């Protein structure tokens, strides 16, 4: 009887919780709820019912963040970059992926023209994938954040990638006094302060995004960097995002609008998830709730805005603009990537396995593309971009899960300029 009572109380709690719709979405058919997770595990191989379920959870999560005041947004300006389209190049493999595989969107851009514009087959899911569907950027958002760093440098808010971090909020932590370059290259000597999942600091049970950066700064008091070996972690990327806020100050909104509205020319609202305010601290009370404690790299964007971002970067690089020179410098100073492992089992599921160098939150120097200027971004479960900077080719993928071959659908397409048959 006692166990039944506890179950009833727990059920009522979930029903009245602000997160109830994330965990109680009915799983129709053969949907696997994966224990109520908000996102599909990276190892998942979901059927259509499961993908539908998690697409609904994503929408609920974004809206809850919005209603809870935990979204930073930039609206479109009405000047969205319009693309030229040609009839889709024939590719039965991509067609099949979009009909029954894990790819939800596939865009192939070649020299100013979209030559394959593919979305998951209509009717596959409860809600169709459209040009307005928001996708998590995941770690592609790290690259977006780096692109914003480039603009902050060109606009004079940051002196260079070698600027020494002098940030009152982060005083007496391992990041203070380091060159920004170390943070951008994921070589800040912080492996000992971040957990293996790269989401928690100093043994904390709380996800780093559920606490403000002021709390994180307190947790890191007295820490010192240990070496400068490459250690890829999510928490560090959010520190960079907040450093941009600190350096741009009252002009932060202006900077973000310049990047997304004037340069990328977004067609839909973009947003990132803000950190939660966990508690107030007497020692650094003045920082509590300030935006320099709340920014993140975790963006939500549409498929075409992914492409607009990619094209803007490509044109900056090609035209050798100030931001383009930042991208070139990022490429030139990129360091050896410790996860280059093209022969690893199932290597074909991850773009980063084929990259030999990592610089400023971008992947460079891909296997099989020697002496080619290629830049790549990769996000959890296949939110990827690959750009041929020499031949003006771009591939953008958004997917529900890994398990599709990045060599077939991305690297070979960039290499040859042809889609798989």
Q: What is the mean pLDDT of each run of 10 residues along the chain (421 residues)?
A: 40 35 42 94 95 97 96 98 97 97 98 98 97 98 98 98 97 97 97 86 85 91 92 94 98 98 98 84 75 95 98 98 98 95 94 97 97 97 98 98 97 97 94
CB 36 within 8 A of CB 25: no
Q: In what order do the strands lie in the sheet with 135-136?
A: 71-74, 270-273, 299-301, 135-136
DSSP track, 136-197: E-TTHHHHHHHHHHHHHHHTTSS--TT-B---GGGTTSTTTTSBHHHHHTT-SS-TTTB-TT
Can you give the pTM of this predicted structure?
0.91
pLDDT of residue 250: 97
Return the structure tokens found at 292.
């320099």
pLDDT of residue 4: 40
Q: Give the separation between CA 52 and CA 66, rounded to whole angstroms.
A: 21
Q: Give the separation between CA 375 and CA 368, rounded to whole angstroms.
A: 14
Q: Give the separation between CA 105 and CA 179, rounded to whole angstroms.
A: 38
CB 127 within 8 A of CB 56: yes
Enumerate the domain spans of the chain: 2-39+46-69, 80-136+302-416, 141-299
CB 276 within 8 A of CB 211: yes
Closest listed residue to residue 291, CA positions, set 141, 67, 69, 137 = 69
Q: Give the separation between CA 29 and CA 410, rounded to whole angstroms.
A: 33
Return the structure tokens found at 404.
């599709």
Return the structure tokens found at 376.
């790549």
| Region class of 372: left (phi > 0), else alpha (psi between -120 and 50), else beta | beta
CB 356 within 8 A of CB 367: yes
pLDDT of residue 289: 81
pLDDT of residue 5: 42
Size (the chain), residues: 421
pLDDT of residue 279: 66
- What are residue 159's phi and psi, to 5 degrees? -75, -40
Residue 365: its H or E element: strand 362-366
Residue 5: its H or E element: helix 2-16
To the nearest 10 degrees (0 to 180), the angle between helices 322-332 and 303-319 is 90
- Cα dist from 374 to 211, 324, 349, 352, 377, whole Å: 36, 14, 19, 13, 10
The CA R_g of the chain, rounded to the nearest whole Å, is 21
Q: Give the separation between CA 52 and CA 67, rounded to whole angstroms.
A: 23
Half-sphere exposure of 17 (CA within 13 A, CB side): 13
């Amino acid at each position: 009887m006692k166990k039944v009572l506890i179950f009833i109380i727990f059920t009522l709690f979930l029903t009245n919780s602000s997160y109830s719709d994330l965990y109680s979405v009915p799983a129709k058919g053969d949907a696997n709820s994966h224990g109520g997770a908000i996102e599909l595990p990276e190892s998942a191989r979901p059927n259509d019912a499961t993908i539908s379920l998690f697409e609904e959870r994503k929408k609920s999560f974004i809206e809850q963040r919005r209603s809870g005041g935990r979204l930073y947004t930039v609206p479109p300006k009405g000047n969205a970059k319009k693309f030229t389209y040609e009839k889709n190049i024939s590719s039965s493999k991509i067609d099949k992926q979009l009909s029954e595989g894990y790819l939800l969107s596939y865009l192939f851009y070649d020299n100013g023209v979209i030559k394959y514009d593919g979305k998951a087959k209509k009717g596959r899911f409860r809600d169709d994938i459209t040009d307005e569907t928001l996708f998590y950027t995941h770690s592609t958002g790290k690259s977006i954040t780096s692109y914003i760093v480039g603009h902050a440098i060109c606009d004079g808010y940051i002196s260079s990638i070698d600027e020494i971090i002098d940030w009152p909020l982060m005083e007496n932590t391992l990041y203070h006094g380091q060159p920004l370059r170390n943070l951008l290259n994921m070589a800040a000597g912080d492996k000992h302060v971040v957990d293996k999942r790269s989401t928690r600091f100093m043994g904390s049970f709380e996800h780093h995004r559920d606490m403000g950066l002021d709390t994180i700064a307190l947790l890191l008091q007295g820490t010192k960097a240990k070496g400068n070996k490459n250690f890829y972690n999510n928490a560090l990327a959010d520190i960079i995002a907040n450093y941009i806020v600190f350096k741009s100050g009252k002009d932060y909104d202006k900077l973000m609008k310049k990047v997304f509205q004037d340069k990328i020319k977004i067609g839909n609202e973009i947003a990132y998830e803000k950190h939660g305010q966990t508690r107030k601290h007497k020692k650094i009370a003045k920082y509590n709730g300030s935006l320099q404690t709340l920014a993140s790299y975790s963006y939500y964007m549409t498929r075409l805005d992914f492409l607009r971002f990619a094209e803007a970067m490509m044109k900056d690089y090609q035209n050798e603009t100030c931001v383009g020179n930042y991208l070139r410098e990022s490429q030139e100073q990129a360091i050896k990537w410790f996860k280059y492992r093209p022969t690893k089992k199932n290597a074909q599921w991850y773009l980063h396995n084929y990259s030999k160098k990592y610089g400023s939150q971008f992947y460079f120097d891909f296997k099989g593309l020697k002496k080619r200027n290629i830049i790549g971004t990769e996000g959890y479960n296949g939110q990827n971009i690959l750009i041929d900077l020499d031949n003006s080719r771009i591939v953008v993928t958004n997917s529900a899960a890994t398990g599709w071959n990045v060599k077939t659908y991305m690297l070979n397409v960039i290499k040859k300029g042809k889609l798989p048959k």
